Chain A
Amino acid sequence: MSQLFTFLDMSGYGNFIWPAFGISAIILLGILVHSQRFLKRTEKELETLNNQVDTSDTA
Chain B
Amino acid sequence: MAITLLCLTCGLYFSLFKSPPDYQQSDTVRIMYVHVPAAWMAMFCYSAMALSSAAALIWGHLVAQLIAKATAPIGAAFTFLALITGSLWGKPMWGTWWVWDARLTSVLILFFLYLGFIVLHDAFDDTSRGARAASILAVVGAVNVPIIKFSVDWWNTLHQPASVLKLDGPAIHSSMLIPLLLMASGYTGFYLWMLIVRVRAEFNSNKIRAIRIRQANR
Of chain B, the residue at the smallest CB distance from A49 is B211
Interface residue from A10, A11, A21, A42 paired with B204 (Cβ < 8 Å) = A42
Interface residue from A13, A24, A27, A49 paired with B92 (Cβ < 8 Å) = A13
Chain B 68-87, CB-CB to A under 8 Å as 1, else 0, gives: 00000110010011001100
Assign chain A's interface to a size class.
20 to 34
B142 to chain A, nearest CB (A): 23
Distance of A12 Cα from B201 Cα, bound (Å): 45
Answer yes or no: B174 CB below 8 A from chain A CBs. Answer: no
Interface residue from A11, A19, A31, A43 paired with B194 (Cβ < 8 Å) = A31
Q: Are B35 and A20 in contact (CB under 8 A)?
A: yes
Q: Is chain B's binding surface mostly helix, strand, loop or mixed?
A: helix
Q: Are B208 and A31 in contact (CB under 8 A)?
A: no
Q: Are B28 and A17 in contact (CB under 8 A)?
A: yes
Q: Is chain A's binding surface mostly helix, strand, loop or mixed?
A: helix
Of chain B, the residue at the smallest CB distance from A37 is B201
Interface residues of A in 17-59 (CB under 8 A from B): 17, 19-21, 23-24, 27-28, 30-32, 34-36, 38-39, 41-43, 45-46, 49-50, 52-53
Q: Are B81 and A39 in contact (CB under 8 A)?
A: no
By a CB distance below 8 angstroms, the chain B residues around A39 are 197-198, 200-201, 204
Chain B 11-32, CB-CB to A under 8 Å as 1, else 0, gives: 0100010000100001110110
Given contacts A36-B197, A38-B201, A39-B197, contact A27 B208 (CB under 8 A): no
Q: Which residues of A contact B (CB under 8 A)?
A: 10-13, 16-17, 19-21, 23-24, 27-28, 30-32, 34-36, 38-39, 41-43, 45-46, 49-50, 52-53
